[in-house]
């Protein structure tokens, strides 16, 4: 699959927003301004859930195509380990068609992926262990000593290999955002704070080199617990420490610009618990993101489907739409990333783009 050149740009994403607002009459607050001045939709397409099979491949491809063709969503989120590389490939095939058909230019679409977890090839005849042994260990890409908890690594040789596979899978010469995938959550309890920051610096140095080569727009941390748990927890990560590492490696123009963490009705910690400290002041994860000039994307707005079946509803919104509306309305959130594959769910969620996000008082009223 040929690789599409370029990155999402300020001018390109602004044009996507202009068409959405002027031609499709979407409310302008549906779009937010991300670091770098990019205009991103407050709903993003996630690609995590699903079996590693052809039917799911097709469903993901169609979801990407519909999101872009609708003119309502220009944020796509995936990871190399999602469905054993098949999610990235599904996204890549849809992007290739969209770009080649002229449906949407490359510079209008913000594409994020994640590296860090071992990701055997779901389309290989080899089993997972055999594939890892042949492709990563025997080729000296990955030393067994670099693997943490049997599933995660962040050595530069491994991340380089994974980044190149992601570029190939996605059919992109350059990726807008590459996250280290749950790096702190996986590694901190095992290697400790100081060693983790050393490893983080090595990873950031690699990402800076990829930025210099024009293959990466920005990098970030996709997290689960580490930004939302208190400092007393062994898995806590201070964003101030991460920024210090990024500045040491990349200077003031470093590329560490984004974080991702869970946020939904059942997981409100990022908006209510003051787990971070910035210049000595205790703040929430969202507060830290704002003070440090970062962008935040939130995951699992439907709590992996649970909140679409049971939970509150704000008429005339459905239960699922209410859960997504809550997540996208959090002050400091760029977009809620929603896994949506069936045409019915996709249509329901896309409809939410015609509704303005809640203002802060309304949002706060839904926090229990």
CATH number at residue 357: 3.20.20.100
Distance CA 276, CA 287 (A): 8
CA dihedral over 22, 26, 28, 33, signed as positive or negative: negative
In a domain, 4, yes or no: no
Condensed to tens digits (0 to 9), the pLDDT of residues 30-82 reads: 999 999 999 999 999 999 988 889 999 999 999 999 999 999 999 999 999 99
Are 42 and 34 within 8 A, CB to CB? no
Residue ranges of E strands in the chain: 31-34, 38-41, 43-46, 75-77, 110-115, 175-181, 216-222, 256-262, 276-278, 281-283, 295-299, 333-339
In a domain, 139, yes or no: yes
**Residue 245 to residues 177, 197, 242, 267, 362, Cα–Cα distance (Å):** 18, 7, 5, 28, 37
Burial letters 74-98, b for 16+ CB under 10 A, else e: bbbbbbbbbbbbbbbbbbbbbbbeb
In a domain, 180, yes or no: yes
Report the pLDDT value the prediction gives residue 341, as an integer from 0 to 100: 73
In a domain, 312, yes or no: yes
Report the pLDDT value the prediction gives residue 102, as an integer from 0 to 100: 79
In a domain, 330, yes or no: yes
Distance CA 47, CA 290 (A): 26
Q: Residue 253: give the domain boundaries.
A: 10-365
Residue 46's nearest CA partner among 230, 245, 305, 281 is: 305
* pTM across the whole model: 0.96
The H-or-E segment that residue 105 falls in is: none
What's the chain's length in residues?
Answer: 368
In a domain, 1, yes or no: no
Residue 55, Ramachandran bin (φ over 0: left; ψ between -120 and 50: alpha; else beta)? alpha
Q: Give me the number of domains the chain comprises.
A: 1
Report the pLDDT value the prediction gives residue 307, as an integer from 0 to 100: 66
CA dihedral 18, 23, 25, 30 (to 10 degrees): -30
Condensed to tens digits (0 to 9), the pLDDT of residues 277-306 reads: 999 999 999 999 999 999 999 999 998 767
Cβ-based neighbour number of residue 240 at 10 Å:
15
Residue 339, Ramachandran bin (φ over 0: left; ψ between -120 and 50: alpha; else beta)? beta
Q: What band does 114 get if pLDDT is binned at 50, 70 and 90?
A: very high
Structure tokens at 243: 């920024």
In a domain, 85, yes or no: yes
Report the pLDDT value the prediction gives residue 91, as an integer from 0 to 100: 98
In a domain, 2, yes or no: no
């Amino acid at each position: 699959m040929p690789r599409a050149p370029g990155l999402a740009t300020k001018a390109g994403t602004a044009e996507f927003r202009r068409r959405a607002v002027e031609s499709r009459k979407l409310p302008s607050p549906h779009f937010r301004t991300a670091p770098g001045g990019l205009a991103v939709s407050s709903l993003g397409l996630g690609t995590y859930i699903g079996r590693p099979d052809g039917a799911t491949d097709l469903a993901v491809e169609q979801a990407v195509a519909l999101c872009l063709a609708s003119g309502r969503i220009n944020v796509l989120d995936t990871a190399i380990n999602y469905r054993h590389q098949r999610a990235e490939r599904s996204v890549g095939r849809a992007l290739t068609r969209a770009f080649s058909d002229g449906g949407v230019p490359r510079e209008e679409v913000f594409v994020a992926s994640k590296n860090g977890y071992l990701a055997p090839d779901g389309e290989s005849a080899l089993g997972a262990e055999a594939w890892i042994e042949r492709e990563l260990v025997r080729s000296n890409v990955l030393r067994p000593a670099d693997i943490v908890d049997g599933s995660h690594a962040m050595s530069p040789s491994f991340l380089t290999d994974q980044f190149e596979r992601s570029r190939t899978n996605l059919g992109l010469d350059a990726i807008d955002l590459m996250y280290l995938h749950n790096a702190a959550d996986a590694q901190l309890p095992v290697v400790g704070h100081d060693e983790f920051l050393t490893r983080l610096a090595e990873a950031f140095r690699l990402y800076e080199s990829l930025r210099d080569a024009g293959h990466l727009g920005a990098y970030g941390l996709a997290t689960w617990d580490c930004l939302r748990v208190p400092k007393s927890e062994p898995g806590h990560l201070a964003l101030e420490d991460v920024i210090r590492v990024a500045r040491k490696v990349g200077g003031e123009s470093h590329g560490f610009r984004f974080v991702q963490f869970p946020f939904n009705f059942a997981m409100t910690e990022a908006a209510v618990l003051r787990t971070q400290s910035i210049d000595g002041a205790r703040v929430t994860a969202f507060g830290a993101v704002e003070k440090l000039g970062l962008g935040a994307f939130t995951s699992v707005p439907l709590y992996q489907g649970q909140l679409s079946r049971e939970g509150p509803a704000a008429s005339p919104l459905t239960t699922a739409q209410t859960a997504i509306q809550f997540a996208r309305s959090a002050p400091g959130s760029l977009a809620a990333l929603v896994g949506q594959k069936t045409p019915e769910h996709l249509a329901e969620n896309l409809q939410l783009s015609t509704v303005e996000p809640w203002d802060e008082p309304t949002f706060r009223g839904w926090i229990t």
